[in-house]
Amino acid sequence: MENFFQMEFTKTQVNAVSNLGLAHIGDGVYELLCRTYLCSRGDKTVSTLHKDTVDMVNATAQAAFAEKLLPELTEEEMAYFRRGKNAHTHAAPKAAGKKAYAMATGLETLFGALYLMGRTDRLNELFAMITEK
């Protein structure tokens, strides 16, 4: 049986995952980071935690965070971001335009790729940049 919790895919293995597959994984990774961050900031009601999480994980917020990270990305990271940004998605949410949705998908793809390669230190570093005021 494969161990799916020890993520150390090679670059070749990560590149074999579809753009939207990487975004799917990255969406979960990003949301977990947001939830962890919000819980670490102190006592909040479940309702407040949910609202604050939604505020961080919506496409418009993710697009803004992506813009903040772009100058800090390596060439390899930019390639993953572009893969997601240029992925052919079928629909964008009504609350976000196509550009914001594409940027959010790029961010999720990047986070998915880093997670699968086991680069959690870099994930944490990028997430810290997102949450800096």
Q: What would the pLDDT profile of 29-41 be if each residue is shown by its tens digit?
A: 999 999 999 999 8
Cα separation, 85 vs 109, in Å, equals 8
Residue 112 neighbours by CB under 8 Å, 6+ apart: 17, 21, 22, 23, 24, 25, 26, 27, 29
How do residues 107-122 score in pLDDT, each as one tens digit? 999 999 999 999 999 9
Domains parsed from the chain with CATH numbers: 12-131 (1.10.1520.10)
pLDDT reported for residue 132: 87
Mean pLDDT of 85-99: 77
pLDDT reported for residue 75: 97
27 is catalytic: yes
| Residue of 27, 52, 55, 121 marked catalytic | 27
